[in-house]
Amino acid sequence: MQRFILKRKNHIMAINAILTIAAFVSKLGFKNEGIAVIALVIASILGVAPILIQAYQSLRVKVISIDVLVTIAVIGAFIIKNFEESAIVTFLFLFGAYLEQRTLNKTRSAIKELIKMAPESALKQMANGEFKEVEIDSVDVGDILLVKTGAKVPVDGMVITGEGHINEASITGEAIPVSKKADSEVYAGTIVENGTVQIIANRVGEDTTFGKIIELVEEAQDSKSQAERFIDKFSKYYTPAVLAFAFIVYIISRDTELAITILVLGCPGALVIGVPVSSVAGIGNGARQGVLFKGSEVISDFSNADTVVFDKTGTLTVGNPKVADDEFYSADKDEILAYLASVEKESDHPLAKAIIEYIGDIKTYKVEETDVVKGEGIIANVKGSKVAVGNVALMKREGIYLGEKVRTDIGKFERKGNSLVLTSINGQLKALIGIRDQIRLGVKENLLRLKKVGIKNLVVLSGDNQGTVDMVAQELGLTEAYGNMLPEDKSAYIKKMQSKGQIVAFVGDGVNDSPSLAIAHVGIAMGSGADVAIETSDIVLMNSDFSRLPYARALTKAITRNMLQNIVIAIGVVLILLAGVFFSEWMNMSIGMLAHEASILVVILNGMRLLRYKFRKQQ
């Protein structure tokens, strides 16, 4: 029977809610007290059943849990015949448990999504020299594998032959594919966008970088799910204290009615209701403002956070490379752009797409005799002219003269973190274009707001090169900046900060960010990010609106203050009532019940104030 009831907690919660609503409709709408009382009694009995079972199970192992506290509150409400309180308390508690379980289920689905993204097969070189498709479990360290265009790299390894461009966004978070050739390192789960490479396996299975991402997420979520809530910690001391006090009073006075009065007045109905009301009202306010809190646990952590760590690409920056700088070395700019657009339309490289978007609608020419030089660029014949579009290495290969001004411009562009695209026509350099990810609009101002609401340290961790990361950090006024970081490096850094006593929030958007999102005290995902990142996180900024981050911080501080106010009100009323029992002649059960109910109404109204909270008033 216990198992049957516990398996149907969510159904019981729904029935409890329906009966409670029906009771209020009957009482307020039709003035029918009898039906209202019956509905509330049934709702309370149904609602307390799973809570009572869990309280019994915890007491069996000598643990006084939150379930014991709620059970006592419901019993106390029954004794004073306040069935409205008992029905609402049980619903709120069951609803909180439902939200918590839903969050855990989301976590499990995030891990499943990660596992789905892991490579399942590989083209392995057999003894006869031919490549055969095998399951990933059949690959061992030292095996030679073939990876073609569009395929996932199955293991961590080293390129031994071939060239290609590999999208490493799942590992580094960077959108621009990386050129790979002999002796280049490659990672499992990354995708070969063009080219074909043979690799030798160095790490396989759980030892790969992608395998470590899954392992880190699992470990972090296990540790998070064991974190105790405030109310759990409080119940360990408060519940036995009330029970012991009532028992001692009975032993001394032999007055059963007095002991029951203490037990009833000591039941913290306002405490059990006050904290969830603050939480639900605050979460509702956040949802309306584009901030999704996944349960109440995260509120306390984020309100106390002193350090926010950011991924760079897709978080501080847009995550979509665009042309940021250009320099032309000839007067016929429109003609140069026409040649450039004609060649770049032949490519599906992200840099080519950025250039096409930058040039816009322009007349193009027919392209003939295209020659793709892997890792360097494209050489083509356009309207009888030889056009080369690519990096500095391609220009040197073609013998293009790069004068002092050009070299100065190249240095300047590179210091800004640009990827370079040079264009030559008939052996003459005509244009230099710098492409880089753009910082999100308003990020700098919102980082200043974060500091104003108590964040001391602003750190960026990125898979991008250190120069680019330093440039972003300098422009935004960040405290620390670290580049060339793999997912496990980011997680290790966060653990190091936590070991120093810092409360860390991590903001990211990619698959590679999921371990850091899981391991930080608070994981915050951009709404347009990867599904895995969103599901692993504790807070989601809907529509990837960065301005919602300081709002979320200010809101959690307001919610925490409100919860503390409700706790003080609830405990204060209980202490006054208990003191009144012994030190006054006017205190009796009826007055105690009235004060009890008044305290519940006060904490509810206080919590509801959060629905009207606005950050602008606090600035």
Residue 489 annotated to the active site: no
3-class SS of residue 122: strand
Helix, strand, coil distribution of the chain in percent, nearest 5: 55, 20, 25
- List the alpha helices (DSSP H) in 254-308: 256-266, 269-288, 297-304
Measured from the Cβ of residue 367, the count of other Cβ atoms closer than 10 Å reads 18
Active-site option among 156, 301, 311, 509: 311
Residue pair 279/563 in contact (Cβ under 8 Å)? The answer is: yes
124 Cβ neighbours under 8 A, 6+ residues apart: 131, 132, 133, 134, 138, 139, 143, 144, 145
Pairing of strands 131-135, 185-186: unpaired
Quote the radius of gyration of the chain (alpha carbons, Å). 32
Give the CA count within 13 Å in the CB-facing half-sphere of 60: 6
Gap between the Cα atoms of 209 and 215, Å rounded: 10
In degrees, to the nearest 5, what angle opens at C-alpha 259 toward C-alphas 256 and 264?
A: 120
Gap between the Cα atoms of 168 and 154, Å rounded: 13
Closest CA to 482 of 503, 504, 458, 502: 458
Gap between the Cα atoms of 361 and 5, Å rounded: 66
Closest CA to 547 of 291, 284, 314, 173: 291
Measured from the Cβ of residue 200, the count of other Cβ atoms closer than 10 Å reads 15
Q: What's phi and psi for 509, nearest 5 deg? A: -145, -10
Where in the sequence numbering do the catalytic residues fall? 311
